[in-house]
Amino acid sequence: MEKHKHIALLSTGGTIEKTYNESDGTLFNQRSVLEIMVAGLVLHGVRFDRIPVMNVDSVDMTDADHERIVKVASAYSESHDGLIITHGTDRLAITGELLVKRLGEAPRVPIVLTGAMRPYELRTTDAQQNLIEALLAVQILPPGVYVVMHNTALRFPGVVKDHKRMTFRRASPNES
């Protein structure tokens, strides 16, 4: 019998987990929707642990928040076959670069960051697709730190958010 992949799903908030507040019509991070997103998936050969790290919009993340994510990721990378980190897209690249800086370009397991440009609760969301892509990618990519979204896997370092195209891309040589 084939061994199950043991994946850690670390949630940090961001648009992927934003929910609609009926009282004032806003979207914000009030509760996690990851359990709902995963509940309908067929995940043969995978078992995962859901680890809530924080639930904030990434534009509000501090340096201490990024360090906390890296610390938690480092700990779970020792006991799991791969990590998925759901993250806000505005500061996702900062966390990806910090993971490489602290854990190296080839950590023990694949670490996949993903998020969404549009919340799960919206009809035109990319959240479910990105989570599904991340679940597959973490099982087949070699050890490294990646962003997986919109049918693309990009390895850190050198990944930036493309605000015009609303996705991620490789940084050009003159970008930091």
pLDDT single digits (tens) 111-148? 999 998 876 666 677 888 999 999 999 999 999 999 99
Res 19 pLDDT > 70? no
68: in domain: yes
Q: How far apart are CA 5 and CA 140, in angstroms?
A: 11
The owner of tokens 């509940």 is 39
pTM for this predicted structure: 0.89
Tokens found for residue 167: 């996705």
Range from 21-25, 104-108, 167-171 carrying the lowest mean pLDDT:
21-25
Res 160 pLDDT > 60? yes
Domain ranges, residue 23: 5-170
Taking the chain, what is the end-to-end CA distance rounded to the nearest angstrom?
46
Q: How far apart are CA 171 and CA 75, in angstroms?
A: 29
74: in domain: yes
What average pLDDT does range 163-176 have in this prediction? 87
* Cβ burial, residue 8 (10 Å; 0-12/13-18/19+): buried
176: in domain: no
The owner of tokens 């906390």 is 68
* Number of domains the chain is built from: 1
pLDDT of residue 124: 73
106: in domain: yes
175: in domain: no
Q: How far apart are CA 70 and CA 58, in angstroms?
A: 14
Tokens found for residue 85: 């980190």
Tell me the CATH number at 122.
3.40.50.1170
